[in-house]
With several copies, the nearest count.
Chain A
Amino acid sequence: MRVVVQAEAFDAGAELNAFSAQAAGAGAVVSFTGLVRDNGGALSMMEIEHYPGMTEKAIAAMMDQAAARWALVDALVIHRFGRLAGADPIMMVAVASKHRVDAFEAAEFLMDYLKSRAPFWKKEISATGGAWVAARDEDEAALKRW
C-alpha cells in the first residue's frame, strides 16, 4: 500500500497501469480520479493547503482500516497540494482485489474518508479572488454508512 502526497502533477493513467501490473492475483481494479472542475469554460485554478505530517498518517490509517475490512490485494492514494490548474487531476485512489465488490467498497470508503477526514483544504481561485471550498453536509453524512 502506498500513500503519496505531493505538489507535482501526476499521470493517472500511468499510475493505474503500474498499480494494476504489480497487483498479483487481482481480478478487479477500481480507480477514482478527482479533477479540478472546469466551470463552464472559465479557467479555474485551485489552491490546496494540507497539514504535512498529519496528512500521510491520516491516510495511512484509513488504508489500514480499509485493508482490515475488505479483502484487498493492494491500495494506492495520491493527493496533490499547492496550486493546480483546471482539469488537472487533484488526487486518485486505486484499489485492487480479487472480486469487484471489495474493490468498489474499499475505494468508496477511502474517498469518503479522504473527503472529510484527511487534512486538506481547497480554495478556488477565480479572476475575482479566492474562496475556501465549504465542506458539504452530504460528505459528512456519507461517513455514516461505514
Chain B
Amino acid sequence: MIEVIYFAWLRERIGVPRESLQTAALTVADLVAELSAREERYALAFGDLASVRVALDQELADFAAPLAGVREVAFFPPMTGG
C-alpha cells in the first residue's frame, strides 16, 4: 500500500485529498498511467504532466523515479509560495 496525496487543483479534480492505493507501478510515471487508465478524473488531472510536480516521501522527485520503498507520493501543480 502506498499513500497518495493531492494538492490544489489536482486535489479538486481527483476529488479526494489523499488515498491509500494498492499498486504494482515501478515508477511515478507507471503510477500516473495506472491511475489515468483507471478513471476519467485521474486522466483529467494528469492530462498535462508539464503542470504536475511530484514528491516522494516529501522530497521533490521526477516521473522516472522508482517507487520501491516509497511510503508517500504527492502530486501537485507548480508551487506558488512566497
Contact = CB atoms under 8 A, between A and B. Distances in A.
A49 B8 contact: yes
A4 interface: no
A48 to B, nearest CB: 8
Interface in A92-109: 100
Interface size class of A (residues with CB under 8 A): 20 to 34
A119 B82 contact: no
Interface stretch (A15-23, A65-73, A133-141): A133-141
A116 interface: yes
B29 interface: no
27 contacts: A34-B82, A49-B8, A51-B55, A51-B74, A54-B58, A58-B58, A58-B60, A90-B82, A91-B82, A115-B79, A115-B81, A116-B79, A117-B79, A118-B79, A118-B82, A119-B74, A119-B76, A119-B81, A120-B79, A120-B81, A121-B76, A122-B80, A132-B9, A132-B77, A134-B78, A135-B77, A140-B78
A29 interface: no
B38 to A, nearest CB: 24
A118 B76 CA distance: 12
Contacts of A121: 7-8, 76-77, 79-80
B5 interface: yes
Interface string A29-45: 00000100000000000
B69 to A, nearest CB: 17
B57 to A, nearest CB: 9
